[in-house]
A and B are shown apart, each in its own frame.
Chain A
Amino acid sequence: MKGKQILLLILIVLINMNTGCWNRREINELSIGTAVGIDKSEDGYLVTVQLINPGEVASEKATERTAVTTYRASGETVFEALRKLTLETPRKIYLAHIRILVFGEEFAKEGIGKALDFISRDHEFRTDFYILIAKNTKAEKLLNVLTPVEQIPANKVFTSLKISEKAWASTYHVQLDELISGIISEGKNPVLTGVIIKGDPETGMNISNLENVDPPTTIQIRYIGVFKDDKLIGWLNEDESRGYNYIMDHVSSTIVNVPCENGKVGIELIRTKAKINGDVEYGKPKIDIKIWVEGNVGDVECEVDLTKTKNIYALEAKVQKKIKKEIESAIKKAQDNFKSDIFGFGEAIHRAAPKAWKELKTDWDRREFQDLEVNINVTVKIRRIGTIMKSFQKEAKE
């Protein structure tokens, strides 16, 4: 019995000594990456990593130093470039917590597919970061801009994208698996939202950028970039981007301004629902888009009597027309300018008529998509008019 007790004691002691994992990495040996940027360089890829300066983020009083630091290295493959960074960085970089992955515009035009393989193959990357394109600039430059309010620029981009998508609906967050399935799908092409530097990139790098009430350089999320397979081929403007989001059922809320007598009325959309139905009739593919929109009157800057239901119906018709126009412009641009099916109409046809799709898919992007007949049906309901009834505009004038 005594032998057993001693054995137990030895085991307990041994267990305490064996708690560490083999490849444990203590937090003070790691640099936590928040963003990765990929550009092209002479020998292949230029990879930029934005790292947190733990001392600055954690300390309670303001410091002179910046909250993040960027390092860059180039290599023939993304993997090589990332490992080469250790020549410069003080600690090993830990990338499981990155919030954004940014591609430079020039790089995206030549195709992002090759760079994506490493990111989906490596075990450290998760799939919950957002992927964006640095419009008109290099990802390297973009990751250097310091941002106010949100100390870590990558977090700022991440949250702005999330918020703007919910409240303004001209942007859309794309994550790794959606991007990859967009690239490989035959009936759909991917999109990525753009980020731009507003102001001078050089001043944005300096901490003095944050010392102004109105910072001279900021980061803005704007426009949706259209891809053909893995190559960026162009941009949708603000209205077209929103039109795209209506079709894809990505809109949760936005503001639609419609004209009325001597002014405008702002309608807040609070709920939208979109449905794409494909069909093939006599060998010709056809797409039906049905969109249901629910909104409230949010802003009346004209002399309209909202107590009359007739006027509400008129507003509904105007909103419906405006939404339809935005959608049409997005489709037209994709069909005529880009010849790229970013809406997944091909997939809708595939789901509806798998047999006909087998023939259609061979030159879907080249011919069929461009001649595709798209019917758009928008239903608008305005439910509420806010906290006041009649607008005081009319009385104010008298």
Chain B
Amino acid sequence: MLKREKISARQFRILVILSFVGTTILLVPSTLAAEAKQDAWIAAILGLVFGLLLVWFYNIVGSLFPNITIIEYQERLFGKWIGKFFSLLFASFLFLNCSTILFTVGDFITTQLLPETPIQFTILFFLLVAIIATRLGLEVFARAAEILFFWVFVFFIILILFLLPELEFKNLQPIFENGMRPILRGAIYYSSYSSMTNIVLLMIFPTCVNNIKQGKKAFYIGTFEAGILILFISLYSILVLGHDISSRSVFPTYILAKKISIGDFIERIEVIIAFIWFITVIYKTILYFYGSVIGFAQILNLKDYRPLTLPLGMILIVLSLTVFPSTLHEAAWTATTWIPFILTFSFFLPLLVLIVSVLKKKIKGKR
């Protein structure tokens, strides 16, 4: 058995926000604009509603196992072998997703900031932080999140305020031009990046949160706050850039930050604004890495998870470089495989866990 670490509900809320915003802030404005055109912001609201429904579902699933992680619970529920099989699948899913997150951030830095630096090094430095954070443990990086979240908030406010003069409200019209279908598709893509990937939190929730009742509330509030943040970003990318440019750019949020120009004086601050997603993406990486390391440790019944961090980290660097052969491959994968892939692990697997556990209880009750 691993030692349990405890975090407060407030720290959990911040982790929810950082993980939700994670890579979403980089990828989603473009996808939403491509799907829902000028109605991208409606899709963002709808996606937030989906997110809250999903939190409701996770809270129900989470309350099945208040003192253990989902991986341990699966073993208890399905028996040793089938349970280990499901747990291995789930831990591998977390591990694989961690590599795609690293690919995304490496891709961003290579495309926009440091085109000549080998991507291995940008990924290596990101991963090093994640490994150190994981070795120090949940309590430490949750506390660090409290400090860093302040800066995410400050830079977000700067972005929102400084872009006010650039808003072009006619970019929003006509509303509902293409009906609900594209909006719905956009919303599903959006929640697949944000709320669905928050399944990783079931590795720390509710077992590591010191007050489960408050923790559940924090899950809702965190998702809501992060959803509002993404709503603003996608609304702004339509208002400032228009849906054409938003959907055509790979990283519209960065283009958005480039647009800041106050009195020919405050400009070219996009790299400072990029701190928002450097922090959120690193936390998403940390959570996924921590989740998969804890998961593997629990499958193998280790007393300490730390010996796994370095070997898994080394594998992860190679994996993140080979997981997609090119950015185009990533785009094709996102368009076809991603949604069923994420749905399997973030919806159907917990649903299966829930159904089996309810059935088991009923059978037990009959006896």
B-binding residues in A (CB < 8 A): 21-23, 123, 126-128, 177, 180-181, 184-185, 350-352, 354
Rounded to whole angstroms, the CA-CA distance of A351 and B118 in the bound complex is 46
Query: Please, which residues of chain B bring their CB within 8 A of the CB of A181?
Result: 242, 244-245
Query: Please, which residues of chain B bring their CB within 8 A of the CB of A177?
Result: 241-242, 245
With beta carbons under 8 angstroms apart, the residue of B115, B259, B267 that contacts A23 is B115
B268's nearest neighbour on chain A, judged by CB, is A126
User: In the complex the two chains form, is A123's CB within 8 Å of B244's CB?
Assistant: no
User: In the complex the two chains form, is B170's CB within 8 Å of A351's CB?
Assistant: yes
User: In the complex the two chains form, is A22's CB within 8 Å of B116's CB?
Assistant: yes
Query: Please, which residues of chain B bring their CB within 8 A of the CB of A354?
Result: 174, 177
Rounded to whole angstroms, the CA-CA distance of A26 and B207 in the bound complex is 52
Report the minimal beta-carbon distance from A140 to chain B, rounded to whole angstroms.
Answer: 29
User: In the complex the two chains form, is B245's CB within 8 Å of A123's CB?
Assistant: no
Q: A181-B244, A184-B244, A185-B244 are in contact. Are A123 and B115 (CB under 8 A)?
A: yes
B357 on interface, CB distance cutoff 8 Å: no
User: In the complex the two chains form, is B241's CB within 8 Å of A352's CB?
Assistant: no
User: In the complex the two chains form, is B174's CB within 8 Å of A352's CB?
Assistant: yes
B6 on interface, CB distance cutoff 8 Å: no
A-binding residues in B (CB < 8 A): 111-118, 121, 170, 173-174, 177, 241-242, 244-245, 255, 258-259, 261, 267-268
Report the minimal beta-carbon distance from B97 to chain A, rounded to whole angstroms.
Answer: 27
Report the minimal beta-carbon distance from A218 to chain B, rounded to whole angstroms.
Answer: 25
User: In the complex the two chains form, is B267's CB within 8 Å of A128's CB?
Assistant: yes
Report the minimal beta-carbon distance from B10 to chain A, rounded to whole angstroms.
Answer: 32
Rounded to whole angstroms, the CA-CA distance of A351 and B117 in the bound complex is 45
User: In the complex the two chains form, is A127's CB within 8 Å of B258's CB?
Assistant: yes
Rounded to whole angstroms, the CA-CA distance of A161 and B75 in the bound complex is 71
Query: Please, which residues of chain A bring their CB within 8 A of the CB of B114?
Result: 21-23
Those 10 A-B pairs whose CB atoms lie nearest each other, nearest first: A23-B116, A22-B117, A351-B173, A354-B174, A354-B177, A351-B174, A181-B244, A177-B245, A181-B242, A123-B112
Rounded to whole angstroms, the CA-CA distance of A249 and B267 in the bound complex is 25
Report the minimal beta-carbon distance from A182 to chain B, rounded to whole angstroms.
Answer: 10
B116's nearest neighbour on chain A, judged by CB, is A23
8 additional contacts, CB 8 Å, given A128-B267, A177-B245? A22-B117, A123-B112, A123-B113, A127-B259, A128-B258, A128-B261, A351-B173, A354-B177
With beta carbons under 8 angstroms apart, the residue of A22, A23, A126, A180 that contacts B245 is A180
Report the minimal beta-carbon distance from B344 to chain A, rounded to whole angstroms.
Answer: 36
Rounded to whole angstroms, the CA-CA distance of A395 and B114 in the bound complex is 73
Query: Please, which residues of chain B bring their CB within 8 A of the CB of A123?
Result: 111-113, 115
Report the minimal beta-carbon distance from A381 to chain B, rounded to whole angstroms.
Answer: 25
Rounded to whole angstroms, the CA-CA distance of A105 and B118 in the bound complex is 41
Report the minimal beta-carbon distance from A356 to chain B, rounded to whole angstroms.
Answer: 11
User: In the complex the two chains form, is A21's CB within 8 Å of B117's CB?
Assistant: yes
